[in-house]
Each structure stands twice: as structure tokens, then as C-alpha cells.
A = this chain, B = another copy of it.
Amino acid sequence: MTGARFGALEAGGTKFVCAVGAGRELAAEMRIATTTPGETLAAAIAFFQAHAPLAAVGVASFGPIDLDPRSPTHGFITTTPKPGWASTDIVGPLRRALGVPVGWDTDVNAAAVAEQRWGAARDAAGVVYVTVGTGIGGGAVVNGRPVHGLVHPEMGHARIPHDRAADPFAGACPHHGDCWEGLAAAPALAARWGRPPETLPDDHPAWALEARYLALGLVNVILTLSPPRVVLGGGVLARAGLLERVRGEVTALIGGYVRSPEIVAPLLGDRSGVLGALALAQDLARR
């Protein structure tokens, strides 16, 4: 490995993935179970200290998080329902302990950056990244940078048409009931059909409904952002044929009104978060 080395931290609700790398290559990696903030951050800091010197560290975090550089809680996880993690400073302890600049964004914005730099949107001028698993998360790169705004995208909580005659399931989101995530993330599938979604056969009607719901949410994102590329991944998309069905539904819903972007699988798979964190660190050094 040549050139400056960077630290990358994918801060997830169940595990923290710590790595060091240069370019797009990761040279060392450690996974830590997400326990308490103090314990988990201390283990991450120890990992990065053991790999000093690092030019910068990037963090791709679960959220919601505070991205406003003028805010007194910039660098914090803010209102997460995860016990013990609401109002937790992530960037501050890392910066103080390591003495390097710390890049900071949502896991899904970081994944969007990584898929555009090294993955399935390499040749695209912008990208939306959507992951469908225990929740639905979306990140986006527009005009060359991740979308922040007042907070950051929370696409999973958008409202989509829900025909209660065809699907009486009330929705699984504790905040919004039948929002996109409440209708189409893995817990919604499990609750609607009474079994883990991975045990539903390919020809189960669950998958036609799932394709329709995923397309309804994607169409709204497409009509709002007009992304040149959509990268659609996450555990639920591991189902054979589902991505193709989503594509067909999106085309039908747009109805030829505007051009629709290619919708593709991630190329970086479960590396998009940690590679996104690496990209955030490298972007700091470029400024």
C-alpha cells in the first residue's frame, strides 16, 4: 500500500466495521459489536491508534445524524431509537483521540459516494443509493456532493399509495405505520406474511406486492431527483428476480412521461459502507 493511509469507520446499529486503506484498497479490518457508545467508540479508537499515522478518518453512520457544521451537535447521532445511542457524539471523541480530520455522513450517503466512485455508478453523473433490509435507507449524490440539506435524506419514511383492500396490513413503522419502510422493509414482510421473508417461495404473491411497493417509492425519488443512476441493494434484494420486477414496475409507473434511469444492483455489496467511509476520509484530504 502506497500513499497516505486513511481510516474508515462504518458505524452500524449492530456492528462497527473499522478499516484502514489507501485508494480503494482496504489493508486491515476489524468488526466490533455495537454495545454502549463508550465501549464501542473506545474499541474503534484503539484500532485506529494501532494503525497510525492516518491522514484522516471517515465515518459512515446509522442515524439520523447531525451534519450541520455550524451546529453544536455536529457529528452526533441524534434521535435514533437504538437504546443508549440517542444524542451521542461520534466525531468529537474520534477527532480528539486521533488528532486527524474526521469525515462524517450517513451510511447511505457514504454508500452512494462509494458506488459512484468505485462501483455501479462509476460512469454516472449522479446517483441515488437505496438499501432495503431491516429498514429502507436512501442516499444521493447531486451536483457532485452528497445531499445534506436541513438534515439528510430519510427516503424510507416517504408515503406511498397503499391499497388497504388489496393489502390490509397496517404497516410496521413505529413512527409512520404504512410509510415506504413500514410497507416494504424486511420486518414488514415478516409481519404481513407471518414468516421470515427468506422462507417465502419465489412464486409467493409477496414478491409481486414487494416489487410494486419498491417501485412506488423509487418512482417518487426518481421524479424528485432525476438521478442518472439508481443503485438498489440490501438483504431483501437478494431475492432472485426481484430487481427485474422492480424495474418493470418503475417503467410502467412512469409511463413514458420522462426518461427513467437504469436501476442496478450495487457492485460493492456489503463493502459500500466501509468504502464510503474511506471515500469520505479521502475527500477531506482533497479540500
Contacts and interface: CB of A to CB of B under 8 A. Distances in A.
A258 interface: yes
A72 interface: no
A175 B255 contact: yes
A109 to B, nearest CB: 11
Interface in A144-189: 144-145, 147-162, 175-176
Interface string A251-280: 001111111110000000000000000000
| A interface bracket (residues with beta carbon within 8 Å of B) | 35 or more
Interface in A193-231: 216, 219-221, 223-228
B225 A224 contact: yes
A138 interface: yes
A2 interface: no
A227 to B, nearest CB: 5
B258 A148 contact: no
Contacts of A154: 223, 226, 257-258
A158 B224 contact: yes
A151 B259 contact: yes
Contacts of A140: 224
Contacts of A149: 125-126, 142, 225-228, 261
Binding site of A, secondary structure by majority: helix, strand, loop or mixed? loop
A4 to B, nearest CB: 26
Contact of A64 (B64, B138, B219, B258): B258
B150 A220 contact: no
Contacts of A153: 223-226
Nearest to A228: B150
A142 B143 CA distance: 7
A14 interface: no
A257 B152 CA distance: 12
Given A150-B259, A220-B220, A224-B220, A162 B159 contact: no
Contacts of A147: 142-143, 225-226
Contacts of A224: 138, 140, 153, 155, 158, 220-221, 224-225
A79 interface: yes
B223 A157 contact: yes
Contact of A161 (B138, B142, B143, B162): B162
B220 A176 contact: no
Contacts of A155: 223-224
11 contacts: A126-B149, A149-B225, A150-B226, A150-B259, A155-B224, A157-B223, A158-B219, A159-B160, A159-B219, A160-B161, A161-B162
The 3 A-B residue pairs with the shortest CB-CB distance, nearest first, are A149-B226, A143-B143, A158-B220
